Structure 1
Amino acid sequence: MLPSLLRGTTALACLSLALPAMAQDSDPGFLGTLILTGGKRDLTFGTALSRTVVDDEEIMDRQAGTVAQLIDSVPGVTLVNGTTPQGSGINIRGFGANTTYSSDQKIAVQVDGASVGSEELYRIGTQLFTDPLLYRRVEVLRGTVGSFAYGSGIVGGVVKLETKDASDFTGGLPGFGGAQTFEYSTNGRGKVSSTNLAWMPATGAEFLLNYSWRDQEDLKAGDGTTIGNSAFRTPSWLAKGKFTFGPGDAHSLTLGHSRTVADDKDVPYDQFDTTGGTFGNVDRLTETTQSTLEYRFDPASELIDLRANLSHADQKIEYGYVPGSSPLEGTPTFPFLLDTINADQRYETTKLTLSNRALFTTGAVQHDMLAGIEVQRRRRADNTAAGAPGGTNDRRALFLVDEMTAGRFTITPALRYEHSKIDSALPLAGVPDVHEKDGLMGGLALAYEIAEGLSVFGSAAYTEALPIIDDLGTSATAQRRIGIAEKSGTVELGAEYTGSDVFAAGDSFTIRGNAYRTRLWDITSYVVAGAMSTDLDRVKTEGIEIEASYGMANGFYADLAGHIGNGTEFNPDGTFATWRNSAADRVQLTLGQRLGEKLDLSWEVVHAADRRDALGADLPSVTVHNLRATWRPQGQPWMNGTEVRFGVENLLDRDYVGHLSSPTRKAPGRTIKVSVTKMF
């Protein structure tokens, strides 16, 4: 299957490169790109970045229950362990959430600039604990080369989420606006309500309030069995205000605050599993908030586009053991286990980022330069009993990304310097309580425009993952880990083509393919299988990603997204094995038809191979079919602004376990979803 898939995608790429391109206006480059729409998904053109954008329309059409579900259609992205907000994690190119911890620090997640989801919590999935209906846009940057403005040690990529604005509902004009969405899904009797209220009292002032409520009972798998620990109830809300002022509206100030809460009773402590197991059950209260304040100064000068972003992310998890739920209760081991599952957790990250984007010319070279500084404090309450030592991590960073264009060539060097200081919350016997480390990292991206609409690109990037609070400890292993920086290098090569009137008059076609290879060494975050104190020697991953979008004047469209890859982990004794977190080989094809602005019908086919469960056991290939329809009724004034969406996920009710998921946590069976949105 995989060789034939590779031959098919290669042939498609070669066909596209042989086609003529039409001239078009574009803003290519590392920082600013042209976004083209052929099908349902927007693709970027003219950049060396592996970048995918999921916009507001696709967010609504996908009817996802979690953000992780929303972006697992991006090449190289894997949804780890389920469909609940606390259990599901995001893995990109084999890094990020894994089968043990919620994060390995190798992907970055930002909500309006606030850094979230960075803690290594044992047996708890993502900390991207929020509702997808709060967002207007999700951007996924894959790999290292585009990460230097967002953090250090990023190997898998960056997930950037932007919350909704009041102007999305008022059209940018003074007055009131908003939207109400109701949704129901048959599997798990899922119910959703999302309310947006927007107000612009005058030009230059806007306010938005969103309240979303999502409730789901336990899901059913394709064989009709109940998927334990899959029920949840999560109320979320967002408040946001923006003020624009000064000559030429050069100044703006935006304040946003979002909060999501889950109050779960008698649920497994282990979010990856479907039953209480050894740990037993707990009452768990999870509360996560993100607050941001951003000032922007964008006068009529190409040299100044200044942003100052102050953010605070706070997550609290409170536990209470449910008596009688653990089989170890009453044994000598139980008191130690009880310390673990009763230990509350809290993580706070405060960050200030100052950046400026400048456009200027030196000789024949045009520059698009982004430069900035970042100051961050991460504070974690001590939870040593649960393997989460407390302390503070202060970081200071400088970054510079300069896109230089000369003729058909674009060269983009990127640099980041970061200094880290970790201070333990509790005195450490016999070892230092304070640890400092710094690192210099960077990359170089090259692009060449062969002809209008056709270009090739490549990049090389090096980054260092500085020690983290989790590395604190008195053992020899902890002392070794906190004294070194984990290092990685990534090389990428690719080509892209875009054009119109390619196969038929009025059509548009964009295709992009890239190959990557990543090497990780001086490893501190992964251990040899079965040896908790022995770290791997190195990890190597490689793969090919492809994205394509085609649209015709008559409304027909097609989207293609695929990933083929593999990985190897090397032990210190010279033995090796398949990289335990490798992404599956996956291809997704969407065929759709738009009938004007009234109706949009689509059929999505997803095929995945080379899959494994969380224990490393091989899983068979699986093909899943999904149907979606969006209807915008017209004809009567009261129908204006109404959207009705209908979806069927896992149409054939396939019974399977998701890639890297616990073998007991099956994927949901057939699910029918209906939603109604009314704009006002």
Structure 2
Amino acid sequence: MASSARMRRLLLSSVALTVPCTALAQSASEVIILAPISVESDREVQTQTATPVTVIDSEEIEARQASTTAELLDSAPGVTLVNGSTPGGSAINIRGFGAWSGTYGNDQMVQIQIDGASSGAEELYRIGTQLYTDPALYKRAEVIRGSVGTFEYGSGAIGGMVRLETKDASDFTGGEPGFKLRQYLGYNSNGDGLVSSTTLAYQPDDVLELLFNYTYREQGEYVDGNGDTESDTDFETPSYLMKGTVHFGEDREHALTLSYNDTQSSEQDVPYDQFGQVDFGNVDRDIHSRTTILQYTYDSMDSDLINVDVTLSRADQEIEQSPTDPTSTNSLLDADHDYVTTKLTAKNTMEFASGEVDHRLRVGVEYMNRDRLDASSAPGGDDTRYAIFLVDDMEFGGFTFSPALRYEDQNIDGTDYGYDTYHNQALMGGASLRYQWDSGFAVFASYAYTEGLPILDDLSNPAYMTQSQTSTTYEIGASYASGSVIAPGDALAVKVNGYQTHVSDITSYSNVTDVEVQGIEVEAAYSTAAGYYTDLNASIANGYNRTVGATSDYWSQQPADQVRLGIGRRLGNGVNMKWEGVYNAEMTRSTDPTPSSFIHNISVSYAAQQGMLDGIEMRLAVENLMDEYYQPHLATRAAPGRTFKVSLAKTF
């Protein structure tokens, strides 16, 4: 009955929002079309949408010289890493959700997708987010904060969603027939980290494109700002990516892409607890992460109503462990985890007009099966889901109204391991409304309701297997994008977003059933005609434990407030110089307070554009320039001290 009532409320809310918007559309006499504003800084602020999203492009990925995929993401406002310098011990927190006190790498409230495949993010005890893949494989990382904008991709993304996109051959060949070889070498001084990434891209014609990338990365134990070695922070991760695309049909309307990426890691005689908090004993651990994706697209040249995208994916991750002490009786140390997620998504995008309203309607269906073997602290079984979703971006007279609905039907079967079967269903969705003036100023507001359906991890607790975690999020904000604001040739983009999220019926945490988080996120970028630029990212938030009888009002997973400011200059000869300051505020709203810190990073890069050095890219950076000792709030280890990073890349 409660689910049916929620369905009715969602449907009625959509109708109520649509009626006044349609009336406005009928009275609108013209559509405001503005020239795009390009700020020549390190990151484009997404001012054209109400969705709180941050996009990290290939240029920024290269510039950051990250050692782990998680390290690509922490510069987005609202994103905090629990550790981050190692693939296994890192976990991602978005708006106070995701990582759980170093106990679990993910609480299922942050979703992770690679080329549409759901990957990692299992709720494994004392193991990180399992985002083991190498950052060198990716050309784009997108962070959606909160639930607004996620219904097209999944359910239960209360904290948000990370969407990663691997490289294509055409990114190197420019879409022209030919062969390209790119070699990347990198070194960082803190732990003697080394990375070599080799990419081969080949296009024999405009029909076929092929890519192969092999990346080898190794890192020793790093030293913190006090000069102390952080034990068990070393790792070695060879990775490779194979990807091919065939274009066919008239005007290359059809495309078929097959990709496979593979990452392995072997750790000998290391603590079971990857967060380094509890001594359960040591293990030998082998990790193998594999993702296979087959995608078909058809973008009709004859009809704007046909733009089909069908994606079949299989994400397979194995974690094999054995105790180094053969007399150990702790079952955790001998637990092998093996989970496979198979997903099929079919979506069609239709662009059409109804009266004065222009639509971009996405309608899709999805099948997903998560099959996991039984292991200590991780019950095995099958989680099968069927979903249908609808998202419509409706533009009229300066307004953009975007309603979204998603329905999921779930069957969980744990009978192979002595558990029961369960059936659940949920209807979720929301809407955003945005208005933009011809000055470049815009305001927006949104509402989202999502449900985190029961998970395999709770099979041993039948009371949780019919209880969804429910969340409502309200957002309001404003943005501005314009050129020649202060001086001729400059550009400014600013986006401010306020939000409030309330999560009820929580099953992920011990003794916590209700949480409320509210905050403000700021993104800004400014550049001048002379090449000077500034980037600003900030997050200020409070989290509250609303559980009846809670011993503390504080939400234990709430990150500290953070401000990240970058100031740089691009010279006409391909040189880019930048200083970045990262201020983490003192966190006193916690039972485990942490002091403030102010970290300085500097970098300089050079991309030759002509002559004998054409195609060469060189980068030099110093992170934590002042060698400050600090341990970010929620982290279980001190952060690395001063680290010199240098890289050299050449495209032949």
CA displacement at 1:175 relative to structure 2: 1.0
Matched, 1:446 2:436: no
1:673 alignment partner, one of 638, 642, 645:
645
CA contact under 8 A between 1:36 and 1:43: conserved in structure 2? no
In the alignment, structure 1 residue 353 sits paired with structure 2 residue 345? yes
| AA at the equivalent of 2:287 | T
Give CA-to-partner distance per residue, 1:47-74, whole Å, 9 cap, x none: 1100111111110110000111111000
Task: Measure how far apart 1:42 and its partner are.
Answer: 1.4
1:222-246 deviation per Cα after TM superposition (whole angstroms, max 9, x unaligned): 0000011110010000000001110
The answer for unaligned runs of 5 or more in structure 2 is: 1-31
1:192 aligns with 2:195: yes
Where does residue 298 of structure 1 map in the other structure?
299
**Which string of whole-angstrom CA distances, capped at 9 and with x for unpartnered residues, describes residues 578-625 of structure 1?**
111112200000000111142000000000114389x95111000000
Name the structure 2 match of 1:585.
Answer: 561
Q: Is the 8 A contact 1:170 1:178 kept in 2?
A: no
Instruction: State which of 317, 323, 331 in structure 1 corresponds to 2:319.
Output: 317
Superposition pairs of residues 367-386 of structure 1, within 5 angstroms:
367-383=359-375, 386=376
Amino acid at match of 1:147: T
Measure the CA separation in 1 of the matches of 2:197 and 2:147.
35
Instruction: State the 1:126 CA deviation.
Output: 1.3
1:499 pairs with 2:482: yes
Give matches, 1:184-583, under 5 Å: 184-273=187-276, 277-300=278-301, 301-323=303-325, 335=329, 337=330, 339-383=331-375, 386-428=376-418, 433-473=420-460, 478-528=461-511, 536-573=512-549, 576-583=552-559
- For each residue in 1:615-637, what CA deviation from the matched residue of structure 2 results, as whole angstroms up to 9, or x when unmatched? 95111000000011111246632
Answer whether contact 1:612 1:659 (CA < 8 A) is retained: no
Following TM superposition, by how much is the alpha carbon of 1:171 offset from its aligned partner in structure 2, in angstroms?
1.3
Unmatched runs of 5 consecutive residues or more in structure 1: 1-22, 27-33, 529-535
1:635 and 1:248 mapped to 2: Cα distance? 34
How many angstroms apart in 2 are the aligned matches of 1:82 and 1:517? 27
Instruction: Provide the TM-score with structure 1 as the length reference.
Output: 0.89
Query: 1:509 & 1:161 partners in 2: Cα distance?
Result: 27
* Partner Cα distance (1:35, 1:280) in 2: 56
Give the letter aligned to residue 526 of structure 1: Y
Query: Aligned-pair distance for 1:76?
Result: 0.3
Counterpart contact for 2:37–2:491, Cα < 8 Å: no
Task: Output the amino acid matched with 2:630.
Answer: Y
Q: Could you tell me whether the CA contact under 8 Å between 2:584 and 2:632 is conserved in 1?
A: no
- TM-score, with length taken from structure 2: 0.93
* SS at 1:210 equivalent: strand
Change over 3 Å in CA distance of 1:68–1:82 after alignment to 2: closer
Equivalent pairs: percent with the same residue?
Answer: 47
Counterpart for residue 4 of structure 2 = none
Per the alignment, residue 58 of structure 1 pairs with: 60
Contact 2:255–2:296 (CA under 8 A) maintained in structure 1: yes
2:14 is matched with none
Deviations, residues 75-132 of structure 1 (Å, cap 9, x unaligned): 0000112410001111100111222101111111110111012310111111111100
Shift of 1:403: 1.1
Distance 1:610 1:654 in 2: 15
| 3-state secondary structure, aligned to 2:628 | coil
Corresponding residue number in structure 2 for 1:158: 161
Tell me the equivalent position of 1:37: 39
1:576: how far off? Answer: 4.0
The corresponding residue for 1:124 is 127
Contact 1:390 1:425 survives alignment (8 Å): no
Secondary structure of the 2:45 match is: strand
From the superposition, tell whether residues 452 and 371 of structure 1 become closer, same or farther in structure 2 (CA, over 3 Å): farther
Partner of 2:145: 142
Given that 2:78 and 2:539 are in contact with CA atoms closer than 8 Å, whether structure 1 keeps it comes out as yes
Give the C-alpha shift of residue 649 in structure 1: 0.3
| Contact residue 390 and residue 406 of structure 2 kept, 8 A | yes
Relative to structure 1, the CA distance from residue 460 to residue 610 in structure 2 (aligned partners, 3 Å threshold; closer, same or farther) is: farther
Cross-structure match for 2:20: none
Distance in 1 separating the partners of 2:37 and 2:152? 21
* 1:644 and 2:647 aligned: no
- Residue 599 of structure 1 corresponds to 575
Matched, 1:102 2:89: no
One-letter code aligned to 2:55 = V
In structure 2, the CA distance between the partners of 1:47 and 1:635, relative to structure 1 (3 Å rule), is closer
Q: 1:500-559 deviations in whole A, cap 9, x for unaligned?
A: 00011100100000100000001111122xxxxxxx231000000000000111100000
What's the secondary structure of 1:222's corresponding residue?
A: coil
CA offsets, 1:394-414, max 9 Å, x none?
000000001111212221110
Measure, in 1, the Cα distance between the counterparts of 2:40 and 2:608.
Answer: 23
Mapped partners of 2:100, 2:477: distance in 1: 28
Residue 357 of structure 1 aligns to a residue whose secondary structure is: strand
Deviations 1:201-233 (CA, angstroms, capped at 9, x unpaired): 111100000000001110000000001111001
- 1:512 maps to a residue whose letter is K
Assess if the C-alpha contact under 8 Å between 1:548 and 1:561 holds in 2: yes
CA shift in 2, pair 1:669/1:24, >3 Å: farther
Q: Aligned partners of 1:575 and 1:216: how far apart in 2?
A: 41
C-alpha deviation, 1:35, in angstroms: 7.7
Q: Distance in 2 between matches of 1:597 and 1:151?
A: 44
Mapped to 1, the partners of 2:500 and 2:135 lie a distance apart of: 31
Distance 1:631 1:405 in 2: 42
Count of residues in correspondence between the two structures: 619
Structure-2 separation of matches of 1:139 and 1:48: 15
Q: Is the 8 A contact 2:453 2:467 kept in 1?
A: yes
Query: What RMSD over aligned residues (CA atoms) do the two structures have, in Å?
Result: 1.6
Whole-Å separation in 2 of the counterparts to 1:414 and 1:679: 43
The CA deviation string for residues 7-42 of structure 1, in whole angstroms up to 9 with x for no partner, is xxxxxxxxxxxxxxxx9745xxxxxxx684331111
Structure 1 runs, 4 residues or longer, greater than 6 Å off: none
Query: Could you tell me whether the CA contact under 8 Å between 2:617 and 2:650 is conserved in 1?
Result: yes
Give the AA of the match of 1:288: S
2:619 is equivalent to residue 658 of structure 1: no
Matches of 2:577 and 2:232, distance apart in 1: 33
Which residue of 1 is the match for residue 50 of structure 2? 48
For residue 40 of structure 1, give the secondary structure of its aligned residue in structure 2: coil
Instruction: Quote how far apart the aligned CAs of 1:425 are.
Output: 4.7
* Segment of structure 1 superposing worse, 510-519 or 592-601: 592-601
